[in-house]
Amino acid sequence: MNCLQFENALSDYLEGDSTSEQRAHLNSCSACSGLLADLSLISSEASSLREFDEPSIRIWNSLEAQLRREGLIKQPSRSLQPDFFHRWRTAWAIPVAAALLLAAGIKLYQPAKIGDNQPVAKQHIPAAPAVPVVSAEDKEIMNTVASRPPAQVAAYRNDLAQANSFIRDAQEAVQNDPNDIYSQQLLMNAYEQKQMVYRLAVDQNNEDEQ
């Protein structure tokens, strides 16, 4: 068998149909064994392209809108926005609510000003879970608020612990599915929540100093 004959039968060889003549030729011809090795490699690596590309979110947006137009999605239309934005909005509600609660908490625990006839309500702040404040940034922020009334300090500690817990959960979700856009968004929101706690603490301190 010569090289041309071997090559003409190469497809069958790669499909698993080999003859003793072909095997003998391969043993004696480095060019043909090189060609076979290269083509086998190309063929085996090709399957790695099967899920290689990530489609744009535009496709789902258009698809969902079309499914609704055709009545294939039968749920009442919240809007034609994709689920991504619904989830995003919901997720945003968490840090915003946390910030509002935090702000409300700070206001309630501010010392009564002179001339303020309203007594300071005796609000009960749930005890912060025994989650230690570990990071250097967390320690710094707790130092920033250390001079405030104990209830405010406890509220900050509680909010930081919640933000850290939110971040841990979101990180776990991202680790479980690194390509999941919702998990990525959740993690961004978690960091935003913590950033808000920091910002409120610093802003409140600046106000106190003025």
Residues of the shown chain interacting with other proteins in the complex, contacts defined by CB under 8 A: 3-4, 7, 10-12, 30-32, 34-35, 37-39, 41-43, 45-56, 58-60, 62-64, 66-67, 70-75, 83, 169, 172-173, 176-177, 180, 182-183
Identity of the residue, 54 or 209, whose beta carbon is nearer to other proteins in the bound complex:
54
Identity of the residue, 45 or 209, whose beta carbon is nearer to other proteins in the bound complex:
45
The number of beta carbons lying within 10 Å of the beta carbon of residue 95 is 21
Three-class DSSP category at 209: helix
Q: How far is the CB of 188 from other proteins (least distance, A)?
A: 15
Among 128, 111, 133, 132, CA closest to 120:
111
Between CA 140 and CA 202 the distance in angstroms is: 11
Identity of the residue, 67 or 104, whose beta carbon is nearer to other proteins in the bound complex:
67
The tokens for 205 are 């301190």
Q: How far is the CB of 55 from other proteins (least distance, A)?
A: 4
Between CA 179 and CA 63 the distance in angstroms is: 20
Q: How far is the CB of 95 from other proteins (least distance, A)?
A: 15
Q: How far is the CB of 172 from other proteins (least distance, A)?
A: 5
Identity of the residue, 171 or 205, whose beta carbon is nearer to other proteins in the bound complex:
171
State the alpha helices, DSSP H only, in the chain. Answer: 3-8, 10-14, 20-28, 30-46, 57-69, 83-108, 136-144, 150-176, 181-209
Identity of the residue, 52 or 132, whose beta carbon is nearer to other proteins in the bound complex:
52
Q: How far is the CB of 187 from other proteins (least distance, A)?
A: 12
Kindly report each contact of residues 43-52 with a partner whose C-beta sits within 8 Å and lies 24 or more positions away, as own/partner: 43/14
